[in-house]
Structure 1
Amino acid sequence: MIGKAALLDTIAGTNRGLLASEQQKQAILSAIARLEDVNPTPRPVEANNLLDGNWRLLYTTSKALLNLDRVPFYQLGQIYQCIRVQTTSVYNIAEIYGLPYLEGLVSVAAKFEPVSGRRIQVKFERSIIGLKNLIGYGSPENFIQQIETGKKFIGIDFPLNDDTQQGWLDITYIDSDLRIGRGNEGSVFVLSKA
């Protein structure tokens, strides 16, 4: 699809948005809007086979995510959003790299509820922050399996019970390997199936 290739070309070299100039940001938002207009999946939330799985972040305007790269001596690694449709669970995982043996991880576990054909309501339930080697992190899949068994991790591992720890996400485009979403804080997310 030409629109998809154009979006991916426009995103290339921006390091998920960290290096995007204002001109690039505008070009990316235009390419996103063009692709959203031809979304092949009219009711993305109901397309369980497409939605389910591990998604790797390609681009975002989310300040909360991009600010993870501003920690001294560290840089942002891969960011994943892993969706488990069967359990209505979402796991956001950001890998942090820096000094040897001090690579870190910032993760949030949440539950989601479909509220329309393209919108999900998200309630954040748990935050986990720590060193990858102490947590035993090998991959998103392995980490999620540990979370689902109820494991308590070494580091900062705490519940998020506050009603303010929620939001919504509109899935505005999805196909077999690309997903675009727009969040309640005005952020845009472009992800590829990992």
Structure 2
Amino acid sequence: MVKLVQPPMRDSHVSPLICRTMNVMKLQRFAPARNHSRLNTSRFGERPLWFRPITIIKVAEHNSGSGLDELETLAQKKIEIYQAVEGINRGIFGIPSAKKSEIESLVKQLESLNPNPYPTLELDKVGGCWRLVYSTISILGSKRTKLGLRDFISLDDFFQTIDISKSKAVNVIKFSARGLSLLSGQLSIEASFKIASTTRVDINFENSTIIPDQLMNVFRKNYDLLLGIFNPEGWLEITYVDDTMRIGRDDKSNIFVLERFDDNNNS
């Protein structure tokens, strides 16, 4: 999804692809209602992350003998990941090493249950709109200060929309600037991709834009820094994908956990 590359800035404008409604829920399983006192609204939805519905999907046919147990395990691992990432702002501003180890252990466990081990042979499972839940990419120290991300500007949702028919992907990073009358805006990065193997795609940066102009004025001095953080150029290994969750690892050893986003029901 992201490689720290700083290509030249272009003036082209990206219109983010429309997130399509994905009616994928076959069977809903809710996390146990623990910690009722924490039923506050999450930035990722109206319920806390651990209380969201988990889709139970079909695992590989050769495991059908113990299929029910594996379905239960897969659903539980998703719940545990949501619980682990709650309240850490996707990890973008750094997290304690113990928390990082916990999340990465859970990610590996879910990867080992991947029901679609050859995702580039079934790109329809990858296409559509996704929202970032967790990433090991971080903005720390002087980078965070230069970008005004300590007090002045807030990072909101991160979206990735994949159009498999055009071999295109658009990453959209949303911002809000409290000092500009609660101005909202976004950085959009458009890229193309091609299949490199049954699990890997090569990604090429095409163009980027920031809207509105007031937000571009805020980032103009450090635009190369901002683009270098979020530019997806490189390769991405798709290590897990099902109807509701996707995990990827890039050529800079970053991990990305994304959830499928239904624009009609979650916006």
Range of TM-score over shorter length: 0.7 to 0.9
The within-5 A match list for 1:92-171 is 92-99=171-178, 100=181, 102-131=183-212, 166-171=233-238
Residues 72/177 of structure 1: CA separation in 2 closer, same or farther (3 Å cut): same
Q: Which amino acid aligns with 2:105?
A: S
Summarize the Cα distance change of 1:165–1:173 in structure 2 as closer, same or farther, 3 Å threshold.
closer
Work out whether residues 77 and 110 of structure 2, in 8 Å CA contact, stay in contact via their aligned partners in 1. yes
Tell me the secondary structure at the aligned position of residue 211 of structure 2. Answer: strand
1:111, 1:44 → 2: CA distance? 17
Q: 1:185 aligns with which of 252, 256, 262?
A: 252
State the one-letter code of the partner of 1:123: N
How big is the alpha-carbon RMSD for the aligned residues of Structure 1 and Structure 2? Answer: 2.9
Deviation at 1:127, TM superposition (A): 0.9
Structure 2 runs not aligned, ≥5 long: 1-74, 221-226, 262-267
Give the number of the structure whose alpha-carbon radius of gyration is greater. Answer: 2
SS in structure 2 of the partner of residue 16 of structure 1: helix
How many correspondences in the alignment?
A: 170
Distance 1:52 1:132, change over 3 A: farther
Query: Does 1 or 2 have the higher relative contact order (CA < 8 Å, sep 6+)?
Result: 2
Give the whole-Å Cα distance in 2 for the aligned partners of 1:96 and 1:4: 27
Query: TM-score by structure 1 length?
Result: 0.78
Does the 8 Å CA contact 1:57/1:192 hold for their aligned counterparts?
yes
CA distance 1:38–1:69, shift in 2 (3 Å): farther
- Given that 1:103 and 1:132 are in contact with CA atoms closer than 8 Å, whether structure 2 keeps it comes out as no
Shift of 1:103: 1.8
Kept after mapping to 1: 8 A contact 2:240/2:248: yes
Q: Which runs of 5+ in 1 are unaligned?
A: 136-154
Quick one: percent identity of the two aligned structures? 32
**Number of the residue aligned with 2:78:** 4
Shift of 1:33: 0.6
> What are the superposed Cα offsets for residues 21-76 of structure 1, whole Å, 9 maximum, x if unpaired?
22111100000011111101011122222111010000001136995672651100
More strand by share: 1
